[in-house]
Amino acid sequence: MTTELVLHHVETATPLDPLHFVTRDEILIALDFGAVDGRLSRLLTKRFGGEVAFTAAKTDHPVSAALKAYLSGDLSAPDHIAVDGGGTAFQKKAWAALRTIPPGETWTYGQLAAKLGSPNAARAVGLANALNPINLFVPCHRLIGSNGALTGYGGGIERKRWLIAHEREAVGSPE
């Protein structure tokens, strides 16, 4: 007999479109913009298989409060939320390193690879970044191309641009 996995789902409004997040036992496991049946659903199905059921989470969930605080300028609010994106050992290491990039700053994929002790792994960092199921709270928007260009972001380049500008404004950084 298999046990059905129950995940809690919340949709909340943001200046960037609706944002959906999914928790399991108070731990944030997925977060994405747009429709829940898009990228978010694919990532969860890949991770947990076909036995995933969603229930509505309480609207006063700590993730909701952290998101509201972040959007109001408290950029450290997401740091206090426990996250578990699953992933391989390398992905977990890359995602943990993303959380160390200070708000308002951007690093290149190569810089993050070097921090991980693998200076030639910029492409592997890019792939891990692309598979990050908890964007915003695991701030993959803070990675840019080696030439300074805004490259790939699951939430879309315009959202990435907005998030970087929001953080720079909040920390008082012109660039």
Which residue among 43, 140, 163, 164 is the active-site one? 140
Our answer to whether residue 102 is catalytic in this structure is: no
Coil, strand or helix at 57: coil
User: DSSP alpha helices (H): ranges in 72-173?
Assistant: 89-98, 109-115, 122-130, 157-171
Provide the annotated active-site residues: 140
